[in-house]
Amino acid sequence: MLDHGVAAGTDPDDARFNRQLGEPLGRDILKNRFVSALMRSRWYPGAFQIPIAAVFGLVAYELLAGPPSAHDNAGTALMWVLWWPLLPLLYVLFGRLWCAVCPFAALSDVVQKLVGANRPVPPLLKKYGIWIIDATFLAITWADHVFGIVESPWGSGILLLLLTFAVIVSGAFFQRRTFCRYLCFLGGLSGNYSRTGMLALRANSQTCATCTSKAACYNGTDTVAACPLFSFPRTMDSSANCNLCGNCIKACPNDAITITVRKPTHELWFLRNPKIEESFLAMAIMGIVIIQNVTMLPGWTDALGWVNRTTGITNYPIIFTAVFAVGVSIPVALLTLAAKVASAGNLEDTLKNFARFGYALIPLDVAAHLAHNMFHLLAEGGSVISTVGALFGGHYGGSTALVGSGPIQVLQYTLLALGLFGSFYTLRAITHRRYLTPARRRVTMLPFSALIGILTALNVVMFMYPMAHRM
Amino acid sequence: MRMIGDRSDETCLNPPTGEPLRRRRIRVASVGATVAAITVAGSLMLTSQQESFAATISAAVVPARVGSDNPPATSPASMPADMPGMDMSGSSPTPVPTVSMPADMPGMDMSGSSTVAVANPPLAPVLGAFGGATAMVLLTAGMIRRRDLAADVIKKAACISGRAAK
């Protein structure tokens, strides 16, 4: 018998863990007449998709054919100063709702309707889809710094064209929204972040047990399309792959679908099937935020100069690739280290610890990302007014900053504090649900708490310095 | 609006109710032709627009150096101080390249490109490649779909005739 009360080969906590109920559901907002009518309307989500697609069309046109300077380009401002910074906030508030109204998804649907071959999703994508998403996300961030995608409207336009082409290929050959589920780098990000989201769509399992409609919620009906993200509401225990498109609500003959409001990060507390690739993505995003922050600090140029003097390397892509690799590796390495330390005490292997407790970092991840993005939105938001106004003949001569740097820093630290609290609470909830004995809980909490503390401190230090503007 | 691929409950007794193959073929061809036409027209339009735009800014723009990754910058004097959205108080740091560091090092433009003005790179080849590749993908997918539907019809016809023979 081991000192934590775990006999070799058996884990008494497993039985208890497996008996535990899933995430409790809150108040069903579909009981509200307005929300119910909206979700069941044949115009939802199309009525939102059309204007958003029109705006994206304008963005694409501006990026490719508008002013070549990012400073004057409405496409750059709308894409990188307004849309991109607001995305994580949307995920926290509404889960993956953005994916329901995303113009790329609408394009995929149109292509599919016109010429879709509707081939099943290749097993390779099903198995390694999230790793592909991880790699794509890292590659795009790397390319942004090396080729200056964000600073160049033309570069951003090319990125949009590449994404559009990938969506068209996916829509033309594969079923439903294969791209959104298995390939979209934003889908991976939104999948992770929407676990902290405040809306959850689930099915009433008791009603579903008596259902005779051959999974209409998943397969669709003659009038309602199938679930675009291949999710089966009856067995769904995560919001990562639900975009709240409302298809299952319209298709269900028993009104078994509910949309409940919950506390942010609530889903993470009841985690049952952790996946290592999703934990890795959470850490990679943390690394990306760190890199983005570092390259915007005043000391970044000095650091480049130091590397240049020390190594004699003048090639920026080489220097940045090395920094990027180190930056992304730091959170992954720290989580691996914490998992290793915890595995010595909680008697689960390092990989399981890595997979399970990487999710506890997601709240901090979202907070750090939001804090970074709020800088762009609030310190450069004036550029949206000026560039879009200029399109319609207006003139805005004010500053790009919507608020001063003081309030922005207060907001950033508030977000970080919320993220810190969310991560600690999630860590505690996961640990307490998984392990019965106080000793196992203690040895698990310690290393991961230290990791959360280190990553928070790193972010706090970075947000202390003034950052370079993008526009 | 069941997806084409989801045909699990279709049987011999439920013959396909899809549109005739000829109409589908026409639709696929028209989609391809439309994409190609839009691409060509768009490329021509954008090329002419770029030429006129480049002509208007050529006086203010330093020609790009061959092989340089970074766009050339306008001199500050050529920029109006009240450029829309420009924060002239400038909290953003402006890096000064060291002697050992080339000024045109990609990614070194930490001033946020606010002083950058270059002509757009030629769009016609990019849009041409995009449109061509898209048209190819759409046509290929359309042909696969047509072949699948034809095979489906043959299979169902054989199934129905088999039942009739019994």
Q: Where are the domains of chain B?
A: 22-63+117-166
For chain B, the first-to-last Cα distance in angstroms comes to 34
- More confident of the two residues B11 and A160: A160
Q: Under a CB-based contact definition with an 8 Å cutoff, are residues A288 and A141 in contact? A: yes
* Cβ atoms within 10 Å of A37's Cβ, excluding its own: 11
Closest chain B C-alpha to A55 CA, distance in angstroms: 18
Q: Are residues B87 and A317, on separate chains, in Cβ contact within 8 Å?
A: no
- Alpha-carbon distances of A126 from A181, A273, A283, B73, rounded to whole Å: 9, 16, 22, 47
Nearest to A168 among B5, B89, B134 (CB): B134
Which of B51, B77, B66, B58 lies closest to B117 in space, CA to CA? B58
Count of residues in chain B = 166
Amino acid code (one letter) for B157: A
Which of A223, A264, A255 lies closest to A364 in space, CA to CA? A264
CA B23 to chain centre: 28
Q: What is the pLDDT of residue B107?
A: 40
DSSP A102: -
Nearest to B107 among A120, A146, A221 (CB): A146
Closest chain B C-alpha to A187 CA, distance in angstroms: 22
pTM of the model: 0.77
Q: What is the mean pLDDT of chain B?
A: 58
Confidence of residue A400 (pLDDT cuts 50, 70, 90): confident
Is the reported ipTM for this assembly greater than 0.85? no
> Crossing angle for the helix pair A103-115 and B21-57, nearest 10 degrees?
140
For chain A, the first-to-last Cα distance in angstroms comes to 63
- Angle (CA) A263-A264-A269 rounded to 5° is 85
Q: Are residues B1 and A165, on separate chains, in Cβ contact within 8 Å?
A: no
Whether the per-residue pLDDT at A441 is higher than 80: the answer is: yes
Q: What is the pLDDT of residue A60?
A: 92
All structural domains of chain A with their residue ranges: 273-471
The Cα B162–Cα B166 span in angstroms is 7
How confident is the model over B149-166, as a mean pLDDT?
86
Q: What is the pLDDT of residue B112?
A: 43
Q: What is the pLDDT of residue B22?
A: 65
Nearest to A220 among B2, B46, B118 (CB): B2
Closest chain A C-alpha to B159 CA, distance in angstroms: 23
Instruction: Say if B125 is an interface residue toward chain A (CB within 8 Å).
Output: no
Instruction: Say if B52 is an interface residue toward chain A (CB within 8 Å).
Output: no
Closest chain B C-alpha to A309 CA, distance in angstroms: 7
Which residue in the block uniquely carries the two structure tokens 């330093």?
B62
DSSP A198: S
Whether the per-residue pLDDT at B81 is higher than 50: the answer is: no
The Cα A174–Cα A284 span in angstroms is 28
Closest chain A C-alpha to B165 CA, distance in angstroms: 32
Closest chain A C-alpha to B112 CA, distance in angstroms: 5
Contact list in B for residue A146 (CB cut-off 8 A) is 106-107
Instruction: Say if B109 is an interface residue toward chain A (CB within 8 Å).
Output: yes
Instruction: Tell me the residue ranges of DSSP E strands in A120-230.
Output: 199-203
Q: Are residues B46 and A64, on separate chains, in Cβ contact within 8 Å?
A: yes
Confidence of residue A394 (pLDDT cuts 50, 70, 90): confident
Read off the pLDDT of residues B20-77 as tens digits, 9 standing for 90 and up. 666 666 666 666 666 666 655 555 555 554 454 444 444 333 333 333 333 333 333 3
Q: Are residues B85 and A118, on separate chains, in Cβ contact within 8 Å?
A: no
**Long-range Cβ contacts of A269-275 (<8 Å, 24+ apart):** A269/A23, A269/A425, A269/A426, A269/A429, A269/A430, A269/A433, A270/A22, A270/A23, A270/A237, A270/A429, A270/A433, A271/A356, A271/A359, A271/A430, A272/A22, A272/A237, A273/A237, A274/A352, A274/A355, A274/A356, A274/A358, A274/A359, A275/A130, A275/A355
Pairing mode, strands A257-261 and A199-203: antiparallel
Residues 81-100 of B with CB under 8 A from A: 82-87, 89, 91-93, 95-96, 98, 100
Coil/strand/helix, residue A231: coil
* Cβ atoms within 10 Å of A204's Cβ, excluding its own: 18
Which of B109, B95, B91 lies closest to A302 in space, CA to CA? B95
Amino acid code (one letter) for A62: E
Question: Which site among B49, B92, B104 would you substitute to test the A interface, given the most A Cβ atoms closer than 10 Å to its Cβ?
Answer: B92
Which of A305, A299, A376, A369 lies closest to A331 in space, CA to CA? A369
How confident is the model over A235-248, as a mean pLDDT?
91
Residue burial A416-451, b: 16+ Cβ < 10 Å; e: rest: bebbbebbbbbbbbbbebbbbeebbbebbbebbbeb
Q: What is the pLDDT of residue A320?
A: 86
Q: Under a CB-based contact definition with an 8 Å cutoff, are residues A233 and A217 in contact? A: yes
Whether the per-residue pLDDT at B109 is higher than 50: the answer is: no
Nearest to A175 among B5, B87, B119 (CB): B5
Question: Which site among B10, B88, B91, B109 would you substitute to test the A interface, given the most A Cβ atoms closer than 10 Å to its Cβ?
Answer: B91
Instruction: Say if B17 is an interface residue toward chain A (CB within 8 Å).
Output: no
Which residue in the block uniquely carries the two structure tokens 């280290």?
A337
Contact list in B for residue A390 (CB cut-off 8 A) is 84
Q: Are residues B118 and A69, on separate chains, in Cβ contact within 8 Å?
A: yes
Confidence of residue A386 (pLDDT cuts 50, 70, 90): confident
Q: Are residues B141 and A146, on separate chains, in Cβ contact within 8 Å?
A: no
The Cα B137–Cα A176 span in angstroms is 17
Read off the pLDDT of residues A346-385 as tens digits, 9 standing for 90 and up. 888 999 999 999 999 999 999 999 998 998 899 888 888 8
Read off the pLDDT of residues A307-338 as tens digits, 9 standing for 90 and up. 888 888 888 888 888 888 888 899 999 999 99
Confidence of residue A4 (pLDDT cuts 50, 70, 90): very low
Q: What is the pLDDT of residue B43?
A: 54
Q: Are residues B5 and A308, on separate chains, in Cβ contact within 8 Å?
A: no
Whether the per-residue pLDDT at B98 is higher than 60: the answer is: no
Contact list in A for residue B1 (CB cut-off 8 A) is 220-225
Q: What is the pLDDT of residue A339?
A: 95
Amino acid code (one letter) for A237: D
Read off the pLDDT of residues A288-298 as tens digits, 9 standing for 90 and up. 888 888 888 88
Which of A28, A21, A364, A361 lies closest to A199 in space, CA to CA? A28
The Cα A22–Cα A269 span in angstroms is 10
Q: Are residues A165 and B83, on separate chains, in Cβ contact within 8 Å?
A: no
Q: What is the pLDDT of residue B121?
A: 75
